[in-house]
């Protein structure tokens, strides 16, 4: 990508979008198109079409999405499927109409079947039933992958997709009703420490295994894929790429590590009446490793970094 080309980062205020902006700026890209939701509502088709027609970005990072953990997905399934379908449909279609050179669509590892073989390979898509707690979100993300594939096939576009594992890091959402597991646990355990609570409740059995990727690694992977030559991408014959670390931990192990980071010495109480979600979600990342990319931030280092950010920005 030319350092002066127009690059639209959709969702630049979110966890992933803000990390992509930091990565692009630190690498010397100086012509970023950034719009808040009040400036450009990506759910509004006409507004998105007019934006692309006027600005004509050369490249697009589609990081905008409605995201959340089990509580949010269970509470607002209609919003999760509608908003994500609307955002990606409007942006991908407008990107084709305006002649965008390359677009990167960010999905999620929840696209895979609940009982997919572990680690999950890209070929496991659509081979079984989805995890019910986030099915609406997963269906929307699968539609985004297929939309990119379909436009490439019919129109010769260069629309790529990456499927990250569970992300965390600076600028995460720490609201307990809508956050993912790491920010939720960091906040709960921090508040337990501040309030001298004897224990912290953890949803589920603590036995499900999860893989976690620092958002700065994710941003690095996104730029890596966008900069890859078309010949290398074609050689992989890949409709999309998994992005992760290739290793996982149990929720109980994660919680204990966060207790160490926060310096909380109380007990962990696992509420087995609450849902666990999928038993395991580990990505096979060999396809992206073959291209030459690997994650760099280990989990403990990333948790320390995220907790420092939380302490500096909490309200």
Beta strand ranges found along 123-248 (DSSP E): 159-164, 166-168, 199-203, 209-210, 212-214, 241-243
Establish whether 106 is an annotated binding residue: yes
Do the Cβ atoms of 72 and 22 come closer than 8 Å? no
Which of 29, 59, 137, 307 is an active site residue? 137
Asked about 137 being catalytic, the answer comes back as yes
Establish whether 108 is an annotated binding residue: yes
Cα gap 88→93, rounded to integer Å: 8
Establish whether 13 is an annotated binding residue: yes
Establish whether 16 is an annotated binding residue: yes
In DSSP terms, 304 is beta-bridged to none
The widest CA-to-CA distance across the chain, in whole angstroms, is 60
Establish whether 257 is an annotated binding residue: no
Count CA atoms closer than 13 A to 50's CA, side-chain side: 8
Establish whether 156 is an annotated binding residue: no
Establish whether 302 is an annotated binding residue: no
Establish whether 214 is an annotated binding residue: no
Establish whether 288 is an annotated binding residue: no
Establish whether 27 is an annotated binding residue: no
Establish whether 73 is an annotated binding residue: no
Do the Cβ atoms of 233 and 33 come closer than 8 Å? no
Establish whether 141 is an annotated binding residue: yes
Establish whether 246 is an annotated binding residue: no
Do the Cβ atoms of 177 and 301 come closer than 8 Å? no
**CA-based nearest residue to 242, from 149, 124, 81, 137:** 124
Establish whether 297 is an annotated binding residue: no
Question: What are phi and psi for residue 39, nearest 5 degrees?
Answer: -85, -30
Establish whether 165 is an annotated binding residue: yes
Peptide bond into 306 cis (omega under 30): no
Angle between helices 251-262 and 181-194 (to 10 degrees): 40
In angstroms, the Cα distances linking 229 to 180, 208, 215, 244, 275 are 34, 38, 24, 21, 43
Question: Residue ranges for the binding site?
Answer: 11-17, 106-109, 141, 164-167, 180, 188, 203, 210, 276
Question: Residue ranges for the binding site for NADP(+)?
Answer: 11-17, 106-109, 141, 164-167, 180
Question: Residue ranges for the binding site for substrate?
Answer: 188, 203, 210, 276
Catalytic residue numbers, as ranges: 137
């Amino acid at each position: 990508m030319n350092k002066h080309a127009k690059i639209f980062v959709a969702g630049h205020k979110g966890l992933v979008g803000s990390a992509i902006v930091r990565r692009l700026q630190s690498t010397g890209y100086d012509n970023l198109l950034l719009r808040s939701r009040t400036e450009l509502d990506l759910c509004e088709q006409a507004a998105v079409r007019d934006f692309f027609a006027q600005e004509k970005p050369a490249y697009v990072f589609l990081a905008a999405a409605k995201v959340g953990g089990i509580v949010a997905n269970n509470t607002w399934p209609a919003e999760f499927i509608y908003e994500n379908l609307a955002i990606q449909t409007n942006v991908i279609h407008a990107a084709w109409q305006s002649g965008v050179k390359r677009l990167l669509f960010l999905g999620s590892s929840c696209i895979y079947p609940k009982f997919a073989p572990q680690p999950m390979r890209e070929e496991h898509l659509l081979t079984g039933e989805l995890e019910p707690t986030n099915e609406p979100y997963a269906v929307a993300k699968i539609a985004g992958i297929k939309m990119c594939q379909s436009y490439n096939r019919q129109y010769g576009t260069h629309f790529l997709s990456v499927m990250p594992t569970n992300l965390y890091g600076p600028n995460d959402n720490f609201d307990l009703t809508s956050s993912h597991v790491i920010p939720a646990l960091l906040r709960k355990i921090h508040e337990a420490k501040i309030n001298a609570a004897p224990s912290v409740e953890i949803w589920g059995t603590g036995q499900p295994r999860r893989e976690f990727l620092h958002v700065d690694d994710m941003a690095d992977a996104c730029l890596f894929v966008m900069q890859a030559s078309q010949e290398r991408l074609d050689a992989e014959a890949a409709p999309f790429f998994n992005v992760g670390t290739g290793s996982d931990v149990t929720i109980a192990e994660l919680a204990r590590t966060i207790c160490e980071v926060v310096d909380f010495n109380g007990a962990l109480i696992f509420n087995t009446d609450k849902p666990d979600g999928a038993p395991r979600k580990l990505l096979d990342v060999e396809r992206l490793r073959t291209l030459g990319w690997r994650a760099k931030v280990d989990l403990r280092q990333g948790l320390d970094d995220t907790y420092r950010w939380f302490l500096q920005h909490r309200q």
